[in-house]
């Protein structure tokens, strides 16, 4: 008999980060830094039909996809329950945001897919969610899709990753916390996500490059020397904005892939809202998030969305900071 499961995960925008990928254990690889977890993200439905040979079919926003992510998630889940090999799994994925544009969708997609598969597995219910986080992180690292998005999503809200690695690992058949650690504070801050409609570089082109890794690591460490200490709460908002802009400059990412041009175009479109708003780069796409300087200011977003929508080369979506994971 066919079984259908579903899951949802919000997106994550990294504003400041380091690169720590030297360990041979993917669960110890990752980053520390600061980012925003969004309500907008990915919804995944999985129909599993009995079959003699396992396999996956993936449909993203109504179109067939050949992406490896769901096959890798299935391979990891099979290590925990071999009975999943007796089914064919059809994933129907709906994404509100574009892939490979700095919104952490490989993490969100891997997490929601793992949750779907493990919900029909023999793994005890108490272990399923922790296993899904571990699998999502491992798959992200295997595909070089990201470094810290999974750990940030585990915290939600305005997330500060304080130690690189997966939020969970398996030891003596038990799922335990770490080595990755994150913390957060929450506020329903309105966010306008803006992106180029053309395809961006894959994250691996940066994190697998020794030159880019060194530049990003140095800029990230410099930013986290101040962001990474003291209490993590709403009092840090202006510092987050300032440090994000400095990181974009110091890392060299602002002047790569025409990001400065993108930033300037969005600033020009929203010039009537200055100085109410800040426009920050999403790492590592060709995209930005528009945020209020005052956390209580939410009267701008509908008008700003209309203005950005007039720039035909850009996609735009209104959302909020959320603890959706």
* pLDDT average, residue stretch 137-159: 93
pLDDT score of 38 more than 80: yes
Domains of the chain, start order: 3-185 (3.30.230.10), 190-320 (3.30.70)
| Residue 257: per-residue pLDDT | 79
Question: 121 falls in which pLDDT band (50, 70, 90)?
Answer: very high
Taking CA atoms, 236 is separated from 31, 38, 110, in Å, by: 20, 18, 31
pLDDT score of 173 more than 90: no
* pLDDT average, residue stretch 204-215: 80
Taking 3-state DSSP, the helix, strand and coil percentages for the chain, each rounded to the nearest 5, stand at 35, 30, 35
Question: 323 falls in which pLDDT band (50, 70, 90)?
Answer: confident
CB burial string 136-152: b at 16+ within 10 A, e below: bbbbbbebbbbbbbbbb
Question: What proportion of the chain, given as a percentage, has pLDDT over 70?
Answer: 98
Q: What is the DSSP letter of 300?
A: S
* pLDDT average, residue stretch 131-142: 97
* pLDDT average, residue stretch 172-186: 94
| Residue 151: per-residue pLDDT | 96
Q: What is the DSSP letter of 122?
A: S
Residue 216 to residue 39: CA distance in whole angstroms = 27
- Which pair of structure tokens corresponds to residue 7? 């899951």
Question: 213 falls in which pLDDT band (50, 70, 90)?
Answer: confident
Instruction: Calculate ∠ Cα 155-156-161, nearest 5°.
Output: 45
* pLDDT average, residue stretch 276-298: 95
Beta strands in 96-167 (DSSP E): 158-163
| Residue 203: per-residue pLDDT | 66
| Residue 228: per-residue pLDDT | 94
pTM: 0.95
Residue 204 to residue 284: CA distance in whole angstroms = 10
Question: What proportion of the chain, given as a percentage, has pLDDT over 90?
Answer: 82
- The chain-wide mean pLDDT, for the chain, equals 93
pLDDT score of 133 more than 80: yes
| Residue 66: per-residue pLDDT | 86
Beta strands in the chain (DSSP E): 3-17, 33-50, 55-60, 63-65, 87-95, 158-163, 168-171, 174-177, 181-185, 190-196, 277-281, 287-292, 314-320
pLDDT score of 21 more than 90: no
pLDDT score of 324 more than 60: no
Question: 91 falls in which pLDDT band (50, 70, 90)?
Answer: very high
């Amino acid at each position: 008999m066919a079984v259908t499961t579903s899951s949802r995960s919000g997106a994550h925008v990294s504003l400041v980060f380091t690169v720590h990928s030297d360990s041979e254990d993917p669960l110890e690889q990752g980053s520390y830094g600061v980012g925003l977890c969004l309500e907008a993200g990915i919804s995944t439905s999985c129909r599993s039909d009995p079959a003699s040979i396992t396999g996956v079919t993936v449909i993203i926003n109504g179109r067939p996809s050949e992406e490896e992510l769901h096959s890798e998630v299935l391979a990891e889940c099979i290590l925990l329950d071999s009975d999943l090999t007796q089914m064919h799994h059809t994933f129907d994925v709906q994404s509100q945001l574009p892939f490979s544009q700095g919104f952490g969708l490989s993490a969100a997609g891997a997490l929601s897919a793992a949750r779907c598969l493990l919900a029909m597995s023999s793994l005890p219910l108490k272990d399923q969610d922790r296993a899904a986080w571990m699998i999502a992180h491992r798959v992200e690292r295997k595909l070089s899709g990201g470094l810290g998005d999974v750990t940030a999503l585990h915290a939600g809200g305005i997330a500060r990753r304080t130690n690189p690695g997966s939020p969970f690992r398996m030891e003596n058949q038990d799922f335990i916390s770490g080595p990755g650690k994150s913390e957060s504070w929450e506020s329903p801050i309105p966010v306008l996500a803006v992106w180029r409609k053309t395809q961006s570089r894959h994250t691996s082109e940066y994190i697998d490059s020794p030159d880019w890794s060194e530049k990003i690591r140095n800029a990230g460490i410099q930013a986290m020397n101040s962001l990474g200490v003291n209490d993590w709460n709403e009092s840090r908002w202006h510092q987050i904005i300032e440090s994000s802009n400095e990181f974009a400059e110091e890392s060299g990412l602002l002047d790569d892939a025409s990001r400065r041009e993108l930033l300037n175009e969005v600033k020009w479109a929203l010039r009537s809202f200055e100085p109410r708003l800040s426009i920050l780069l999403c790492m590592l796409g060709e995209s930005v998030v528009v945020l209020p300087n005052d956390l209580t200011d939410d009267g701008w977003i509908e008008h700003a969305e209309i203005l950005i929508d007039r720039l035909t080369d850009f996609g735009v979506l209104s959302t909020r900071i959320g603890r959706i994971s």
